[in-house]
């Protein structure tokens, strides 16, 4: 189950009920009732947690002024539903977001009208318009709160963690320096301090060791060498979603495929220096949460341009427009017009790879090519019919060296040709 944001309202006749939850239509009736009933346990405005079975909730109870309620107060509670325990620092951030949410609703003088949507027929036309308007506004505020919470609670992927490390120029350059081969520790220290005056060499080395990217090897009593254990690269690849368009919307592939092909034809001609510079910029993109969120959504397929605002909170709408323009400018996404609607689609996907360092790969012994015997002594077994001649090799070959892919099928045709040739020669001699 996804994380869910739910707003509960105390109805004067029914009691506590879920007024709106987002994402929509995920909570079942049983869970809807259990979450709404949490309101009965809180009488003072503030933040509290409540758990049952495998569900953990964070809740904020508050009241708003109302001209239509007894005592001129409506009771509300905003809740977040999680499947696992969160860190205390995240809990503090959620509490702060809840407090901001309550203040936003309190600041709208007629917001209480939104909660009469179920009884809208009991009001005159002017009041109905106000109810509908504020009802949509409350739902919008809940959706915004949900996306704000997602931004702080979403666990970073491994590629994001690596990107957050490699986006730092001094980390990126240090690993590139070590990719050429082991370096004496003191020599590396001198180079680092000359290039990055304000950065700590010892802290950098400690971080890279913890991430298992480097290893320090001591030779003798004094001499120490730093070895790179993994090469980390950010690169562009054709998006998988393009393949899906072939089956689902074949006409759309005619629009996007030429653009993808044209870009990668150019990408393959980049120099080593250009690829290194591009790799560093890709780390910046993946490490940026706003850009990564858009990238993650587009990996699942194209998105209508007008639906993109739903991926972020309202406070980030301006940032979203800048992100879209940035990704278009850097050939990550493309905007297409299809069936009178504009779509955003991946032009290039990004991936972070780790590999054995090249200088170590060069030291590995090359695998020998498969050995095939040059001659065979063929003996025809008279006990079998001529149509199924049994060919026996003498002396027998006891073993083959494994080919590069541990498969000798490539040598099979040669083997058959030699057998046929030997057999034909024998017939001519007869």
- Are the CB atoms for 186 and 194 separated by under 8 Å? no
Same domain as 135, residue 28:
yes
**368 assigned to some structural domain:** no
Report how many domains make up the chain: 4
Assigned domain for 336 exists: yes
Give tens-digit pLDDT for 368-393.
454 443 333 333 344 344 444 444 44
Determine, yes or no, domain membership for 210. yes
Concatenated DSSP letters for 144-172? HHHHHHHHHHSPPPHHHHHHHHHTSHHHH
Same domain, 136 and 221: no
Do 256 and 165 share a structural domain?
no
Which one is predicted more confidently, 65 or 374? 65
Query: 241 and 284: one domain?
Result: yes
Which band of pLDDT confidence, cut at 50, 70 and 90, is reported for residue 312? low
pTM tops 0.75, yes or no: no
| 361 domain residue, yes or no | no
> Does 346 have pLDDT greater than 50?
yes
Domain that holds residue 415: 377-429
Same domain, 167 and 90: no
Whichever domain contains 255, its CATH number is 1.10.10.10
- CATH code, domain carrying 51: 3.30.450
Write down the pLDDT at residue 35.
86
Q: For 7-43, what is each residue's pLDDT tens digit? A: 999 988 888 999 999 988 888 888 888 888 888 877 7
403 and 349 share a domain?
no
- Whether the per-residue pLDDT at 155 is higher than 90: the answer is no
Residues 127 and 25 grouped into a single domain = yes
For the stretch 6-9, contacts whose Cβ atoms lie closer than 8 Å and that sit 24 or more positions apart, written own/partner, are: 6/35, 6/78, 6/79, 6/80, 6/81, 7/76, 7/77, 7/78, 7/79, 7/138, 7/142, 8/35, 8/36, 8/38, 8/39, 8/76, 8/77, 8/78, 8/79, 9/74, 9/75, 9/76, 9/115
**Whether residue 180 is found in the same domain as residue 223:** yes
């Amino acid at each position: 189950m996804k994380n869910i944001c739910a707003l509960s309202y105390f109805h004067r006749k029914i009691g506590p009920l879920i007024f709106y939850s987002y994402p929509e239509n995920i909570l079942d009736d049983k869970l809807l009732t259990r979450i709404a009933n949490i309101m009965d346990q809180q009488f003072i405005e503030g933040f509290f947690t409540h758990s049952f079975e495998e569900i953990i909730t964070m809740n904020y109870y508050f009241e708003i002024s109302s001209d239509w309620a007894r005592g001129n107060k409506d009771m509300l509670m905003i809740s977040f539903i999680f499947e696992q325990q969160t860190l205390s620092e995240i809990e503090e951030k959620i509490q702060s977001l809840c407090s901001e949410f309550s203040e936003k609703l309190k600041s709208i003088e007629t917001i209480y009208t939104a909660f009469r949507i179920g009884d809208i027929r009991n009001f005159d036309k002017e009041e109905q318009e106000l109810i509908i308007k504020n009802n949509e506004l409350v739902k919008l505020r809940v959706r915004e709160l949900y996306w704000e919470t997602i931004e702080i609670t979403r666990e970073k992927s491994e590629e994001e963690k690596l990107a957050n490390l490699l986006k730092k120029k001094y980390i990126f350059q240090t690993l590139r320096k070590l990719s050429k081969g082991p370096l004496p520790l003191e020599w590396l220290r001198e180079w680092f301090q000359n290039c990055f005056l304000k950065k700590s060499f010892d802290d950098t080395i400690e971080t890279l060791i913890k991430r298992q990217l480097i290893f320090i090897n001591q030779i003798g009593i004094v001499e120490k060498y730093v070895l790179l254990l993994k090469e980390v690269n950010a690169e562009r690849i054709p998006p998988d979603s393009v393949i899906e368009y072939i089956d689902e919307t074949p006409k759309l592939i005619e629009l996007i495929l030429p653009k993808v092909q044209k870009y990668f034809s150019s990408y393959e001609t980049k120099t080593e220096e250009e690829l290194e510079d591009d790799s560093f910029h890709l780390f910046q993109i993946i490490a940026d949460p706003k850009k990564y969120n858009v990238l993650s959504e587009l990996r699942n397929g194209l998105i209508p341009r007008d639906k993109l605002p739903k991926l972020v909170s309202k406070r980030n709408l301006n940032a979203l427009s800048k992100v879209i323009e940035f990704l278009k400018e850097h050939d990550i996404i493309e905007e297409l017009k299809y069936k009178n609607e504009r779509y955003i689609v991946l032009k290039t996907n990004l991936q972070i790879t780790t590999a054995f360092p090249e200088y170590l790969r060069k030291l590995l012994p090359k695998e020998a090519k498969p050995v095939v015997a040059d001659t065979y002594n063929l003996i025809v077994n008279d006990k079998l019919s001529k149509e199924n001649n049994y060919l026996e090799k003498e002396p027998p070959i006891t073993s083959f060296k494994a080919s590069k892919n541990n498969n000798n099928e490539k040598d099979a045709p040669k083997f058959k040709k030699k057998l046929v040739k030997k057999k034909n020669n024998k017939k001519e001699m007869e």
